[in-house]
Amino acid sequence: MKTPLTPLDLVRRGLKLYPNNVAVTEPGGPQFTYREWARRVYQLARAVQAAGYAGRHVAVLAPNTHGGLLTYSAVPWAGSVLVPLNTRLTPEEYDFQLRHAEVKLLLVDESLHDRVAKVAGDQGIEMWVMGVANGAGKDFEARLAAQDDSPLPPAVQDEDDTITINFTSGTTSDPKGVMLTHRNCLLNAIETLYYFKVDQDSVYLHTLPDFHANGWGGVWSPFGVGATHVCLPAVRADAAYDAIERYSVTHLSAAPTVLSMLTDPACARKVTREIRVATAGSPPHARTIADMNNLGFHVIQVYGLTEVSPLITIAELSADQEALPIERRAPLIAKQGFEMLLAGEVEVMDEHLSSIPHDGETLGEIMVRGNLVLKGYYRNPEATEKAMQGGWFHTGDVAVVHPDGRIEIRDRNKDVIISGGENISSVEVEGVLYAHPAVREAVVVAMPDAKWGEVPCAFIALHAGQRATPEELTQHVRAHLAGFKTPKHYEFRDDLPKTASGKFQKFILRAELWHGKARGVN
């Protein structure tokens, strides 16, 4: 009686039990009940099979549209492996990823067609264009309409088969293709349902790019309980608030940079009902969490990486801690917390694979072993072996463990600033800068220094209409941190570089400061 574990089983359950519920909607676009959505899943799965791509690698390049969301169910339903592509890459980057992943079919939203058409043509990849705003996607809809829309069992043979290949950001080398299995993704999806408290009355707003680690499982999990998906192709504060009000949104996921956008005084709105927000991607700051709370959002911090399916810890609070004033509660939520139910073992260890003391001071690396760890990097056994040394997946995140067992990230290995032999956590300095009322975004990186080797440099984006001088910010930081941790230089920008999923691209800013120089430390 054993059947393969797969997130498609959550989708199957939703299609079966909630035929009249609204499954998917999109501002300015169509709305589908679960009955109507089921037909589209079956039709696209059959179309992929009929075209000879069952068992092959099929890529999707789309913003958060209903067409893009459909592929996460329908392509693996056909027995194929889905390769989600970042929507903000260059043709050269698409060329590498499509070639490396051995993609044979590309499903592309019409808005992105021109960016990848030549690359796909050069590689002999067939393209199906989704969307009908300008008529380019009519062939796609006709292709679906030509297929039988009766129920079709998912073509899943083994829970350890790959369901998606998700590319890492590739900031220091070519991006790596993370192979996640059906088993990986189901266990992650179940965790998100449990901790996020989603049910058939929930309305989930897709503010997180679906291509980013499969929307942290959000492309599948809400279907399992009959919830409604609201697709948001362009994530702007006004569009998000409009969708929240129009569709009575109850849940959303977003990187901390999106939370900063929602809390910007120039566009922030108080919501009329509590909305549960999962945030991850980079450590959020207590002030941002407090600002969200004051607008009516209930923030839950989770942590993980694409390689662990992707979520493994949550900033879990006790009942007494939940009752604390937000000023005392927010710093607890800002820590990464404890391992999730199905994450397996999450430990902070030294270079000898020994657990570090729970003293809130000793630094170690977060490591994981368990059912959420990736199958491997596609066509990259060397990187797989390196990441799995000693039987643990090495995250590269530097953290401490507090006496209560709560994990707190202090930095990425490559982002720790080593100044005159002292380790400086860029995240710690950023947290203090965020506490200044004029600061909207803050990124701290190492810059070269003749005396100390390297020192902190802060890149700052201010709230609209606000002013702050380097002297004011230095005084603010010195009131909270040791002098050697204070930024020695400030760069003010209108905006700071981010990935499509909202992570700050520190490597871009660091490269500006180190141009023509070799950084002398890791």
CA–CA dist 356, 119 (Å, integer): 48
CA distances from residue 413 to 77, 144, 379, 426, 427 in whole angstroms, order as listed: 39, 47, 25, 11, 12
CATH of domain 8-254: 3.40.50.12780
- The pTM of the full predicted model, rounded to 2 decimals, is 0.87
CA–CA dist 141, 127 (Å, integer): 14
Which tens digits make up the pLDDT trace of 438-496?
999 999 999 998 888 889 999 999 999 999 999 999 999 999 888 889 999 999 999 99
For residue 144 the two structure tokens come to 């679906």
CA angle 367, 368, 374 (to 5 degrees): 120
- Which one of 3.30.300.30, 3.40.50.720, 3.80.10.10, 3.30.70.20 gives the CATH number of domain 416-513? 3.30.300.30
For residue 488 the two structure tokens come to 């020695």
Q: What single-letter DSSP state applies at residue 363? A: -
More confident residue, 392 or 92: 392
Which tens digits make up the pLDDT trace of 448-463?
988 888 899 999 999 9
Q: Using pLDDT thresholds of 50, 70 and 90, give the confidence band for residue 171.
A: very low
For residue 392 the two structure tokens come to 């643990």
Q: Can you tell me whether residue 482 is helix, strand or coil?
A: coil
CB within 8 Å of 314: residues ≥ 6 apart: 195, 300, 301, 302, 303, 337, 338, 340
Which tens digits make up the pLDDT trace of 192-201?
999 999 999 9
Q: Using pLDDT thresholds of 50, 70 and 90, give the confidence band for residue 407.
A: very high
Strands 103-109 and 57-61: parallel
| Residue in the block written with tokens 């919830």 | 227
Residue 132, φ and ψ in degrees, nearest 5:
-130, 15
Question: Does residue 501 have a pLDDT over 70?
Answer: no
- E-assigned strand segments in 224-293: 228-231, 251-254, 275-279
* Average pLDDT, rounded, for the chain: 93
CA distances from residue 232 to 162, 207, 208, 209, 459 in whole angstroms, order as listed: 27, 6, 9, 9, 29
* pLDDT score at 354: 97
CA–CA dist 109, 217 (Å, integer): 21
Residue 491, φ and ψ in degrees, nearest 5:
-120, 125
CA–CA dist 425, 25 (Å, integer): 42
Question: Is-contact 180 214, C-beta < 8 A?
Answer: yes
* pLDDT score at 230: 98
Residues 118-122 have a mean pLDDT of 97
Question: Is-contact 510 445, C-beta < 8 A?
Answer: yes
CA–CA dist 459, 147 (Å, integer): 53
For residue 82 the two structure tokens come to 């889905």
CA–CA dist 181, 514 (Å, integer): 39
Q: Which of 110, 9, 88, 134 is nearest to 497 (CA)?
A: 88
CB within 8 Å of 89: residues ≥ 6 apart: 97
HSE, CB side, 13 Å, CA atoms: give it for residue 235.
Answer: 24
Q: Can you tell me whether residue 222 is helix, strand or coil?
A: helix
Q: Using pLDDT thresholds of 50, 70 and 90, give the confidence band for residue 285.
A: confident
CA–CA dist 105, 178 (Å, integer): 19
Give the start-to-end residue ranges of the domains of the chain. 8-254, 344-412, 416-513
CB within 8 Å of 412: residues ≥ 6 apart: 396, 397, 398
- Report the CATH architecture of 344-412: Roll (2.30)
Question: Does residue 420 have a pLDDT over 80?
Answer: no
CA–CA dist 166, 304 (Å, integer): 14
Q: Using pLDDT thresholds of 50, 70 and 90, give the confidence band for residue 410.
A: confident
Which tens digits make up the pLDDT trace of 224-278?
999 999 999 999 999 999 999 999 999 999 988 899 899 999 999 999 999 999 9
By percentage, how much of the chain surpasses pLDDT 70? 97
